[in-house]
Structure 1
Amino acid sequence: MTEFTATFAKQISCVNKQQWQAIFNDSYPFYQYSFLHALEKSQAVSSSTGWQPQHLLIHAENTLIAAMPCYLKQHSYGEYMFDWNWANAYQANNIEYYPKLLSAIPFTPATGKRIAIHPEFEQFRHSILALIVDVLGQTMEQLQASNFQCLFLDKATSDSLHEIGLLQRTDVQYHWFNRSYSSFSDFLGCMTARKRKMIKKERQQVLQHELSFIWCHGNEITEQDWINFYNCYQQTYQKRSGHQGYLNLSFFIELSQECTDSILLLKAINSKENVVASSLFFTSDTHLYGRYWGSLQEYDFLHFETCYYQGIEHCIKHNLQCFDAGAQGEHKISRGFEPVKLYGNYLIRHSGFKRAIAEFLAKEQRYHNEYIQSASSYLPFKSDN
């Protein structure tokens, strides 16, 4: 019988990079060693920012055979499956909600594996998941953590965790899917006349500002490009949220050194050759992920152009199957982004709150099922598509 042992790594640099990559072995960009290392090296993720790494490692003898990026959290910022009401309810009952354990990619609401198992040990998946849940329960007791959360994970793993006792939660995002379009015009041709006209009008208004758009790939991005992007990012975050964003300039510069294969930077440049807006994207073999954007000047529909339409064109040109443009945004529906279901799982230590949260999640899931059905009826496509 193969014996497995579980340990926690206080930083990703304590983990053997080759062994980590052997189990997180696909092109999804956000659990790559290099991405997590850039977050930690730049101190955007650290105990001082309320994201203390606690990466869970499962070994068979000296071989890493499973892992889960994990953090001890002192707040709920930067997670995107919101639990503020739960924290308030705990506080109202004089029960500590923080710390909590969280498996997620910091500041990144993009679905992917959260628990990875080496292909040679897939036959032990059930035993490995059971061990992980057991270790998490013990660790929650030791740290006096109120709960464990696993967010934006793949449905198959979410269902498996649900089967062994974790609560399951759903949420909704809006993703664009490539239906073998040959061009952006081909994509528009599948829409009703009214929606097609709306999008053409929005794009035309951006063109009237005499803006041009330049894509930069990975190692083409200069330090000045990052400074320009960061100025856009900070200014837009300040306007929208009252703070300058979760990420620092050091993180973005680290990306140039660590993640060149998966990064795309889109620059919007005015007639004076000044950068007035930027959007940062990541790619996998199948997906485009829109992550951060910002602008220095206000232009009608520039956000839609830099964050949606340019991305759709890129997906069509490079035959990518899906465009995940980030969290929230019902306005995406009329622009061809379809509502999709997302998953999270929870291990709640307090028995009374576990029952209350389970009831809430059941109601929330019914609402999401009904919402997706209703929202899908507002998609802009012709009825024969």
Structure 2
Amino acid sequence: MSSDNTHKVADLIALGKLCIGDGYRAKNSELGSAGIPFARAGDINGGFHFKSGDHLPEGDAWKAGNKLSQVGDVVFTSKGTVGRFGYVADSIQKFVYSPRLCFWRSLDRNAIDPGFLFYWVQSKEFYQQYKSVSQKTDMAEYVSLSDQRSMEITLPFPGQQKAIAHILGTLDDKIELNRKTNETLEAMAKALFKSWFVDFDPVRAKAEGRPTGLPAEISDLFPDSFEDSELGEIPSGWKCSPLTDRAIYLSRGISPAYCEEGGVLVLNQKCVRDSRVSFEKARRHDTTRKQVIGRKVRRFDALVNSTGVGTLGRVAMMPICQEEVVVDSHVTVVRGGNEQESFFISSALLNRQTEIEALGEGSTGQTELSRVVLGSMPVIFPLSQLISAYFDFALIIQDKIEKNDQASVALASA
């Protein structure tokens, strides 16, 4: 290899040091329910998930040739949702690449370290190159093999590559630990809400003469009997009310005037996923072209995706943010009368996402969730003292989740 750190990808391929390929275009007759799974673009999202269910029978593996995964491959989604990445560790089962996936494979690990290559494809250098070619048409983003082979890559000396990969891998391990910790914390918060306000465990315990297992001052806030409501049996004294009776703000967001810098951060439906808010897909709104007075999102607000099959009905609670944030017109914001009520409403809606999805109206692809329909959704509200008690318990968990997220963002940008 040249002593110069910058190399043409095509030259590395010609020297037999790098291979770039795409997926296997299987015929329907070749697909089975068992064998080697196909990896689709949608399967590459924080790991490999193999959700499609399509397999290539083991006896036909030879047909895929080099389009079978190998340990050390770096995976790149090259069409549609461009820019998702994956690394084939030795713990990942062998799979077949589908056409919307590309792989970069080091053929000479003394020249190109696979771990370094994985972090390089996530670098600004690679991003600028693939972005410059991915939007050449009005159709879906696409980065062809020819485009990728015409790129350039900066390669430090092999020892430096390994050191960089090790350092970044250590940071990734910490980020992954934070993610798993947050999954556990979120499960705890969800279980607490479900026990108190869905299954009514403390009320049932008191009605049956059993201890609730809660501190006396908390246990005393729960009644010991039930009454009927439009949602069925609920604890005595609690209210089953339309969301609009308790929400002081229930509104869609703005139609943004996008800008590259300045303005305010604007969240879209891609930012509300897996019951959480992600800022990675957020854009910026130019406030000189359209004011956002009274439209800014607050911590603990419920964000509800309100357009389109597949995204409509997703809910997330707005976390703390160091800058001003608004949402676009495809997201509905729901806010309670105070922080405790906003927190409770967000928790209640998070628990009923499937129901909210079913409230969508309109034809496929044009489904909408109106403010009126969402606002008329009945919600069970306990006494305000119990909402405050729940908030005190759950806020401890929420604070830990947000601190872990902030730490992960800092590690990712280090």
> Under a length normalisation based on structure 2, what TM-score does the superposition of the two structures give?
0.25
Query: Greater relative contact order: 1 or 2 (C-alpha under 8 angstroms, separation 6 or more)?
Result: 1
More helix by share: 1
User: Computing the radius of gyration over CA atoms, which structure comes out larger, 1 or 2?
Assistant: 2
> Under a length normalisation based on structure 1, what TM-score does the superposition of the two structures give?
0.26
